[in-house]
Chains A and B, each alone.
Chain A
Amino acid sequence: MTDDKRILELLNTRDEAGLKALSDKYTPYLMKIASNFLSDRNDCEECLNDVFMRVWQEKLSVKPELLSVHLASLVREICIDYYRKNHRKKRIASEYTVSLSEIGDLASDGKASDPEESIDRMWLSGLLNAYFRTRPKEVRNIFIMRYYYFDSVSEIAKRTGSTVMRINTLLSRERKRLRKYLEQEGYEC
């Protein structure tokens, strides 16, 4: 298995062997994440193709140790776009759908804000970063697993050696805590 440093070297020299190595190594990993968003295998496949295409077209300037995080971010972004584009045409049953439902006590339904309001989103990101840095590592990681990677609660329970009930409770409390925090910062939740 090619290491990440080598993969990045190959990609940055436009060597297609890098793309293959990347695909070989990360397809299962990215498929897992994509499948948390999209229930259809073909949809996942399409998103993964977009990820690899974007990696190929855009020069990667990430550190090798952050390659997996970067790829996860890419597939997350692409899958969310795909989800939003297609969810109204056909119901997509996925962990992402469930997660959207769960954050109903934190945020309301509705499309993303206009691009002009991206400053607000940057501000919100800053608040979230600040918030999570104050939280216990385990709680923060579980929240990110659920609402960034959209891992299922049962998966998280297995990974953390906990129970489904406890993870659900923890997430529920954390949403309420975050809501309170955001309201204090002026957001209407």
Chain B
Amino acid sequence: MTTEQPRFVILLAEDEPADAHLVKAALAENEIPADLHHVVDGREAFEFLRRQGPRFANAPRPNLILLDLNMPRMDGRECLAALKQDATLRDIPVVILTTSEVERDVVASYHLGAAGYITKSADMLQYLAAIRGLGHYWIGLVRLPHQSQ
């Protein structure tokens, strides 16, 4: 899958395989040109970002991180806080993708430095539209810094 232009890389941290699959399916159905990498919790996200262990030795640096809030071991809140503390990782935009509609979670997420907050909809059409919007915004519209590697 080598192309001239580096592909847009998304890291998805999501513990529920069914939800992870939905994101993958929505990206594919919206034909969003992005590589999706999937980790199951915050700890694994950091292993990915720091290329720890044989599994992540060649992991690319993502252009965008999609973060679920409720995960085992290190949850989305802890992960987001840790990302924003890390000088080498804090410039990667993080969008929260969660079932939680609790206002407190929304406020806390932006406070911690989230770039966006998307509520997973049970309505498949709405869900697809949300992922489509996400793709257009981050890949088509916004200019992100060039990757240093």
Chain A partners chain B = no
- Give chain B's interface residues, CB within 8 Å of chain A: none
- Give chain A's interface residues, CB within 8 Å of chain B: none
